[in-house]
Structure 1
Amino acid sequence: MIPRVTATIDLAAIQHNLRVVRGLAPRSRVMAAVKADAYGHGAVPVARALEAAGVDALAVACLEEAMELRQAHLLTPIALLEGVISHEEAALAVYERLQVVVHDHWQIALLEALPDSAQLSLWFKLDSGMHRLGFPLADVPRLVAVLRRHPNWKLEGWITHLACADEPDSDFTPTQIARFNDALAGVAGPRSIANSAGIIGWPQARTDWVRPGLALYGCSPLPQVTAAALGLKPAMTLESRLIAVREYAAGEGIGYGRRYVCPERMPIGVVAIGYADGMHRAFANGTPVIIGGRRVPLAGRVSMDMITVDLRAVPQAEVGDAVQLWGRDLAAEEVAGYAGTLAYELFCGLTQRVHFRHLEPTAAAVEARSTQRGR
């Protein structure tokens, strides 16, 4: 059976991107974000590739994501970015030797209910201005006191998160960094500030640990800087194929709502991908795809299972031809802009109908164990 839509994940590209991150922050350890199924790329195969490349730690959002990696026998340290939400989760996190990112006093109460002998590894998250998760900066002395009460607790470090790191002219990012550093003056423990945008745009945020996400998957987090300029390689290439080619006269409308009207007699191609696969309905006329090595614009509204494209640039196109939606020849960041969104959402929005295959770093293609994201 030939898949309608295939997402090919180049694991060698992810390992390459890790090397780029290390080059930018050579004195930092790297905690790779593999939450949200490795940003839609397949958590287990991606984590294995990162582990093989010597990444220092992995980061997930929640216990369920960590357990998927543990059950796949990943041995790299794993941090729970949202911490734990129940006594049962706290106990399991200790049993599985997970690092718990603690962001509120109610979580400390959960952890203090564990046996005194529990060997707990934790990070304290501080709110330096993102105002999402984290202890107030003024709570640092209280947190230091908590550690003194629990000699079995191992402090992995102190974390904060930048709100405007993707804005190179931001006044707020230096403010956040200064607030974080001032609050921890004289306090022991490693520091972690930078996400991908922080790593690339703010050298002063490259502290003991960095936490890359989007950059590992080959996308630039900075609107004004391309991934290619940073030396990053796209890890995901999304492809479908033409399933029909028709010619229509000038004035004919294409698709739902006739949102595209042919300006002249012209060929229109139908591609077997739609919003049920993760191709956003918000994509506008003119959104590029690649057919036969040429950029071809979307012509008409995205349907559940299909899109229509203007084939005037590739009059030789025929049924069965490959169509690249984003990836090695077309940056996901650019494509996302036509839907008013970000590459993160494109990657994470692919559905179970998409067939995933993972190319091992040897460049030998290895099919995923199932068609759903390598699971």
Structure 2
Amino acid sequence: MSRPTKATINLSALRHNLRFARTLAGTKVIGVIKADAYGHGAIPIAQVLEEQKVDSLAVACIEEAIVLREAGIKSPILLLEGFYGADELPVMEHYNLSAVIQQQEQIDILKRWKKRSFNIFLKIDTGMHRIGFLSEEFPGAYKQLKECSAVNRMILMTHFSCADEPEKSATPEQIALFAKTIAGKSEETCSCNSAGILHWPEAHGDWVRPGLMLYGSSPFTTSHKLADQLKPVMEVTSQIFAIRKLGVGVPIGYGQTYVTDRPCTVGVVAMGYADGYPRHAPSGSPVLVNGQRTRILGRISMDMMTIDLTHLPNTNIGDTVTLWGNGLPATEVAHHAGTISYELFCNMKRVPIHYLNEAQAVEETEQPVTISTI
């Protein structure tokens, strides 16, 4: 019998979330599958998105794109970090890739390229201050690219720094600056990540870039009427493999950070930080046992964790423990651990992945998505 820890990827939920993004935005969709599709498996996720006729895929770098092309993925692929040097252009040509252009050095490289032209996304820094051309730098970059024979089609792009924090003024300011910067230009636009799609409809533009929402996780830290309609794609489960009854005043785990304050029944679960569960998740972090909520007790170990079964007297060795998934959003777990669901997904390792509903697309694409506004 193998170790019971596993991640189950429900591809029907992925299809639902893609349809939901399309319904909300009504624009072209770039499915973001960088970092091995946020830990969900880039190739199977790309296969489903391609099956659903996504307008483009997006990855971080050329290595991720090559993996997809070698697996037979034919959809357009955008390199979100662009290219790092001139040596990547022949590879981009061979694999038919598009790139984000975010600094002058890239434009200089394109000017020297004399072969097939590329589709590019010109990135404007409206407030993220990470990569991209500042508003005052945009006219010069735009002019050079318009005159560059290596550019086939150009889309104007920006990225919001605080779209997942609607109470802040940053996103309206970025939306306004982007509009002002590109005023009078006829190119299509691309601004919204998942939080932008869900909360900032005025910024949807011609293309949107759903990432986290494709995987059914909310980018917001509190309940959101639209994000709450997403379906989790990943469910991580394990089993209880030992049960102990402890008295009062008994320390549990490394560092003895938790001490029982009453007689306590403790379950030991095959899941630890070597599997990707955050070591810094504190006592009290939620898990489900057979669908019922309970809490972690003590520190997360490399291969196991201890949980409270005192109020679940019918629990047995072999019972299922859900670390996140249906009934326990990854966002909630991440909040307890002082991180974000992106990190939970991307850090999963040593956990076998099982895929459900890999070939169920035709019927599902015909089902409309209803958006609740209550």
Q: What interval of TM-score do these two structures reach, taking the shorter chain for normalisation?
A: over 0.9
Q: 2: CA distance between counterparts of 1:85 and 1:362?
A: 37
Specify the alignment match of 2:107 in structure 1: 108
Q: Residue in 2 aligned with 1:45? A: 44
Deviation at 1:223, TM superposition (A): 1.9
Residues 300 and 228 from structure 1, CA distance in 2 versus in 1: closer, same or farther, beyond 3 angstroms?
farther
Aligned pair partner of 1:141 in 129, 139, 157: 139
Would you say the 8 A contact 2:269–2:306 is kept in 1? yes
Unaligned runs of 5+ in 2: 362-374
Listed as ranges, the matches of 1:93-104 within 5 Å are 93-104=92-103
Q: 2:232 maps to which residue?
A: 234
By how many angstroms is 1:84 displaced? 0.5
2:111–2:150 Cα contact (<8 Å) kept: no
The answer on 1:323 being equivalent to 2:321 is yes
Cα distance in 2 for partners of 1:110, 1:162 equals 27
Structural mapping, 1:154-233, within 5 Å: 154-226=152-224, 230-233=228-231
Q: What is the deviation of 1:312?
A: 1.1
Deviation per residue, 1:213-241 (Å, 9 max, x gap): 11110011122225886411000000111
SS for the counterpart of 2:267 is strand
- Residue range with higher mean Cα deviation, 51-60 or 227-236: 227-236
State the alpha-carbon separation in 1 of the partners of residues 146 and 264 from structure 2: 74
2:16 is the counterpart of 1:16: yes
SS at match of 1:276: helix
Q: Which residue does 1:302 correspond to in 2?
A: 300
Deviation at 1:150, TM superposition (A): 2.3
Per-residue displacement from partner, 1:269-323 (whole Å, max 9, x unpaired)?
Answer: 1001100111111111111111122111101110111100110121111211111
Q: List gaps (5 residues or longer) in structure 1.
A: 365-375
- Aligned residue identity for 1:9: I
Match of 1:256 in 2: 254
| Alpha-carbon distance, 1:158 to partner | 0.8
Alpha-carbon displacement from aligned partner over 1:307-349 (angstroms, at most 9, x marks no partner): 0011012111121111110001211000111111110110001
Q: 1:294–1:313: 8 Å Cα contact kept in structure 2? A: no
CA distance in 2, matches of 1:155, 1:220: 33
Matched residue, 1:63:
62
* SS of alignment partner, residue 12 of structure 2: helix
- Which amino acid is the alignment partner of residue 93 of structure 1? M
Structure 2 Cα separation of the partners of residues 33 and 281 of structure 1: 28
Q: Give the letter aligned to residue 115 of structure 2.
A: S
Q: Quick check: 74-83 or 315-324, which moved more?
A: 315-324
Root mean square deviation, CA, Å: 1.6
Residues 41-85 of structure 1: CA distance to partner in whole angstroms, max 9, x if unpaired? 101100111111121111100001111111111111000000011
How far 1:253 moved relative to its partner? 0.9
Which of 353, 357, 374 is the aligned partner of 1:356?
A: 353
Please report the TM-score for the alignment, with normalisation by the length of structure 2.
0.93
CA distance in 2, matches of 1:142, 1:19: 38
- In structure 1, the partner of 2:371 is none
Instruction: Tell me, in whole angstroms, the C-alpha distance in 1 between the residues paired with 2:81 and 2:359.
Output: 35
Q: 1:80 corresponds to which residue?
A: 79
Listed one character per residue, the Cα deviations across residues 185-244 of structure 1 (whole Å, up to 9, x for unaligned) are 111211011101111111111110010111110011122225886411000000111110
CA distance in 1, matches of 2:208, 2:18: 11
Aligned to 2:366: none
Deviation at 1:107, TM superposition (A): 1.0
Structure 1 contact 242–323 (Cα < 8 Å) conserved: yes
For 2:198 and 2:227, locate their aligned partners in 1 and report how far apart those are by CA, in whole Å. 11
Is the contact between residue 242 and residue 270 of structure 1 (CA under 8 Å) also seen in structure 2?
yes
1:99 partner amino acid:
S
Q: Which amino acid aligns with 1:13?
A: A
Compare 195-204 and 2-11 and name the one that shifted more: 2-11
Partner of 1:346: 344
The aligned length equals 361
What is the CA–CA distance in structure 2 between the aligned matches of 1:280 and 1:147, rounded to whole Å?
A: 44
Give the Cα separation in 2 of the matches to 1:69 and 1:17. Answer: 21
Confirm or deny that 1:32 pairs with 2:31.
Answer: yes
- Residues 220 and 227 in structure 1, CA contact (< 8 A), matched pair in contact too: no
Output the CA distance in 2 between the equivalents of 1:152 and 1:162. Answer: 28
Contact 1:242 1:319 in 2 (8 A): yes
Amino acid aligned to 1:10: N
Query: How far apart, CA to CA, are the structure 2 residues paired with 1:239 and 1:94?
Result: 42
Q: Check 1:282–1:73 CA distance in 2 against 1; reply closer, same or farther (3 A cut).
A: same
Quick one: which amino acid aligns to residue 354 of structure 2? Answer: R
Contact 2:190 2:207 in 1 (8 A): yes
1:138 partner SS? coil
**CA–CA distance in structure 1, aligned partners of residues 133 and 127 of structure 2:** 11
Tell me the CA shift for residue 157 of structure 1.
0.2
The answer to whether the Cα contact below 8 Å between 1:3 and 1:355 also exists between their aligned partners in 2 is no
- Structure 1 counterpart of 2:293, one-letter code: R
Residue identity opposite 1:188 in structure 2: S
Letter in 2 for 1:348: C
